[in-house]
Amino acid sequence: MATTDLATTPTPSPAASGSLSTTDTPPTQIAGWGRIALPGHEVFGEDLERLSARPTLFRGLGRSYGDSSLPASPSATVVNTTLADRVLSWNPETGMLRAEAGLSLYTMNRLFLPARWFTPVSPGTQFVTLGGMVASDVHGKNHHVAGCFGQHVRAMRMRVADGRVLEVTQRQYADLFWATVGGMGWTGAILEVEVQLQRVPSPWITQHTEQVGDLETLVGRLKEVSRTWPMTMSWIDCLKRGKNMGRGIVFYGRWADAKDAPATFPAWRGEVALPVDAPSWALNPLTMGAFNFGVYRSHIPRHKHAIVGPETFYYPLDYVRSWNRAYGLSGFTQYQCVIPDDAGLRAVVRFMELLTASGAASFLCVMKDCGPEGEGLLSFPKAGTSIAVDIPVKADTAAVVARLNKLVIEVGGRIYLTKDSFTTADDFRAMEPRLDAFLEARQTWDPERRFASAQSVRLFGDDPTGAR
């Protein structure tokens, strides 16, 4: 494909002599954030329209944990969008942004926060792309007031399976829009995204943190603070059982008013990288317990108040650039589910009992109260309590996930596909009453499953050869 470019093509590298066609090169290992790799081909490029001329699954920064962004088969190709990162239009008066799908939230924050514009919804990392934020329909600490990312999206430019490139909005091709929001890339390739950013009064956040001793108090406190605070979440020590189960720290905050905020702009933090893979023995109950104890006990006094920058508040883990290496080469999965409000506190307690009894959980578990379900046909959140926990991969991980899923299905909850690696097709169907509506939209827009991923092969039984 290189040969079709002339003057606007950058001078490339010299040393390589392989063919540019991916089909005659051996597959490479591609992994999500959980480091469980699958073989396939990954293509990078600036021109997403050209790269999707043959419909192909897109991936961004690879921060989905499991197989969401991985190829359906070793002969399949995925297009990495991160080189397509141009801002196409930006209105500093209205906060309307249109950009290529590979633009990262990291860049958006650096470009627009100085002018007091911020993403309407932020996940827990900045290392995500606009396209990925739509495909996962990400939610954040403000879900109970702002919903998911997708509802703030005004338009998308998409490549669909029949080869057309469409401008898709909440009115035009609305079925495609809401199937794509949270649709994990299965309905087409997102080329461009137009989104309304949020005006913030200052680039600082007023943050409160409270130490809480048990699960019941913690869940209650989350509900209470979310009535008056637009951003809430909590960290729980998920190694603790019995009366200490659910002890943790509740975080809540809001953008600081200009009069309360420092006059300076919060410094963007440097980063450190974890340079090596941790050996398999590094994560054991002793080290993890010590870490959790440290996080909990160092929180003195019990209630703290601070004005902090958004990186401190939203992205504490981004500080360690490759923290997933702490899980070593065998990798990890994240289990994230939502337990609906109508199942009551009892269901949350049962889930935590099951989780702690399994001994599978590692460091911290993140708990957050979600607002009502949005319109995305496969969007994760619904009114209830979201629980997310990292699980290092071991021989019994699939069985642990199956046990957790059984409880989640029983209480009417669901899991977050972006984190998932192990859920079975049957379990997913049982927890997703909207599945038929989604599959109908998929049948309309991609009847041949050209945009299949390893995850859709696992969850829908797609023919892995449909994606080339």
Partner 1 sequence: MNTIILGATRGMGRALARQMAARGDTLFLLGRDEDQLAHSAADLQARGHEGLPGTCVCDLADATTFAPALSAANAALGTVDCVVVTAGLFAPQDQLVADLALTWRLFDVNLTGTIVFCEAARPLLLADGGGTLCVFSSVAGDRGRKPVALYGASKAGLSYYLEAMDHTYRGAGMRTVCVKPGFVRTGMTAGLKPPPFAGDPDPVARRVLSAIDRGTPIVYAPAMWRWVMLVIRGLPRFVMRRIGF
Contact positions vs partner 1 (CB under 8 A): 1-3, 5-22, 25, 28, 43-47, 83, 86-90, 111
- DSSP string of 372-436, one letter each residue: ---S-TT----SEEEEEEEEE--TTHHHHHHHHHHHHHHTT-EE-GGG-SS--HHHHHHH-TTHH
Residue with tokens 């290189």: 2
Closest distance of CB 282 from partner 1, Å: 28
What is the spatial distance between Cα 411 and Cα 305, in angstroms, rounded to a whole number?
36
**394: how many CB neighbours lie within 10 A of its CB?**
14
Alpha-carbon dihedral sign for residues 211, 215, 218, 220? negative
Cis peptide bond N-terminal to 301, omega within 30: yes
Closest distance of CB 277 from partner 1, Å: 19
Closest to 192 measured CA to CA, from 325, 330, 88: 88
**Residue 72 burial by Cβ neighbours in a 10 Å radius (0-12, 13-18, 19+):** buried
Based on CB atoms, which residue is closest to partner 1, 192 or 373?
192
Based on CB atoms, which residue is closest to partner 1, 44 or 268?
44
Spell out where 182-326 has E strands.
Answer: 189-196, 198-199, 205-212, 231-237, 248-255, 303-308
Cβ–Cβ < 8 Å for 432, 51: no
Closest distance of CB 16 from partner 1, Å: 4
Closest distance of CB 146 from partner 1, Å: 23
Based on CB atoms, which residue is closest to partner 1, 15 or 267?
15
Closest distance of CB 118 from partner 1, Å: 15
Based on CB atoms, which residue is closest to partner 1, 39 or 316?
39
Q: How are beta strands 57-59 and 77-80 bridged, if at all?
A: parallel
Based on CB atoms, which residue is closest to partner 1, 104 or 385?
104
What is the spatial distance between Cα 423 and Cα 398, in angstroms, rounded to a whole number?
8
Based on CB atoms, which residue is closest to partner 1, 191 or 389?
191
Based on CB atoms, which residue is closest to partner 1, 56 or 334?
56
Based on CB atoms, which residue is closest to partner 1, 58 or 460?
58
Closest distance of CB 7 from partner 1, Å: 4
The Cα angle at residue 12 between residues 8 and 16, in degrees rounded to 5? 150
Closest distance of CB 154 from partner 1, Å: 17
Closest distance of CB 47 from partner 1, Å: 7
